[in-house]
Amino acid sequence: MDLRQAASCLDGGSAAIFSEKDFLSRARNNFDGGVNNVVYGVTDWEAVQRKIVDVFGDAETERQDDLVVVRPGDLFYKTRYTFCDLVEIIYRLRDPDGCPWDRAQTNESIRQNIVEEAYELVEAIDLGDVEKMREESGDVLLQGLFTAIIADSDGKFSVGDVVTELCKKLVGRHTHIFGPDKATDAESALYFWEKAKAKEKHQSSVKDIIESVPTTFGALMRANKVAKIIKKTGFDFPTMEEAVEKLYEEVEEFVQADEVHKESEAGDILFSAVNVLRMAKIDPEIALNGTTNRFIRRFYHVIERAKESGRAVEDLTLEEMEAFYQEAKQFEKK
């Protein structure tokens, strides 16, 4: 069956039309479940049917000769969804008769949600929890789309604009893939990315790049980012040992400082610690979160040991707390 015959089977509906080869080789995420999907020239019906189930779930299909039409199912009762379905559902939630909460949100009101979802995804990755990673990846995706759809309702930009700009950025900054540059390793690939980014952003100086670092970053994250940028000018410790010495120096200055200068000296300690970790290729944000999590787990052990002795944790002496805390550390090592 040729394409003209295929089109005649659609009763005037819009469609995406694929040869069997293209349909089977196309990535699962690159289909639109909101239109008819037509596969022609089919010879391996079992392979095509498996792909249909994988992509569209239990969608309605119609087979004619060497052609199969996959018709879009009810948007709200599918067993498998596509990116386009997700966008459509979010728009539906924002309709005049949609969800009152979703309709009330603005780009400003969901800012904290965006931050929280990003942190929850990072936590899932740290835990190695695949199921949670899948869920939280969806929540992060939702926040990006929700932001664009709210902006669209305000006449600012659309989801299509976001996707277009992202694709242009990926192509434009990967000059070692889509351009003349050649990257031999991750470091050189990052160099070409940053070079293309600076050109795109019209950043002609180190000052321009530093000023592009968001002030909304967490303090550790911002310090690490700024230090990495300035390092490229050559203004850096020659060795990690010297960076460590600077850290000790800042601690001593903090100890000696009067109350007026304690806070600024405390900041110097943290910035020096960030420099040491940067030179060791350790992300300070991740490192500190890991330590906080370990501290919490160990203190939970202290609480449990207090319960075993019939007391509240507040009733333990400092020496008893420390003994139970060290006990928890030993359990971790085992």
pLDDT band at 57 (very low <50, low <70, confident <90, very high): confident
> Does some domain include residue 67?
yes
* Token pair listed for 32: 């639109």
> Does some domain include residue 217?
yes
Is residue 42 domain-shared with residue 14, that is, in the same domain? yes
User: Residues 199-237: pLDDT tens digits?
Assistant: 888 888 888 888 888 888 889 999 999 999 899 889 999
What's residue 1's pLDDT?
46
Is residue 206 domain-shared with residue 275, that is, in the same domain? yes
Distance CA 254, CA 241 (A): 20
- Tell me the C-alpha to C-alpha distance, in Å, between residue 238 and each of 51, 217, 251, 279, 283: 56, 27, 21, 10, 20
Q: What is the average pLDDT score of the chain?
A: 90
> Does some domain include residue 226?
yes
Is residue 99 domain-shared with residue 149, that is, in the same domain? yes
* Token pair listed for 198: 């600076």
Is residue 104 domain-shared with residue 136, that is, in the same domain? yes
Q: What share of the chain is helix, strand, coil (3-state, %, to 5)?
A: 65, 5, 30
The total number of structural domains that make up the chain: 5
Three-state DSSP state, 140: helix
User: Residues 309-334: pLDDT tens digits?
Assistant: 999 999 999 999 999 999 999 988 87
Which CATH number do you get for residue 98?
1.10.287.1080
pTM, 2 dp: 0.66
User: Residues 121-158: pLDDT tens digits?
Assistant: 988 998 899 999 999 999 999 999 999 999 999 999 99
> Does some domain include residue 317?
yes
- Report the pLDDT averaged over residues 12-37: 83
Of residues 176 and 58, more confidence is placed in 176
> Does some domain include residue 80?
no
User: Residues 84-128: pLDDT tens digits?
Assistant: 889 989 999 999 999 999 999 999 999 999 989 998 998 899 889
Domain ranges, residue 174:
159-200
Say yes or no to pLDDT of 9 above 70: no
Is residue 179 domain-shared with residue 139, that is, in the same domain? no
What's residue 279's pLDDT?
94
Is there a contact between 42 and 50 (Cβ–Cβ < 8 Å)?
no
Distance CA 219, CA 274 (A): 10
Is residue 237 domain-shared with residue 247, that is, in the same domain? yes
Say yes or no to pLDDT of 12 above 80: no
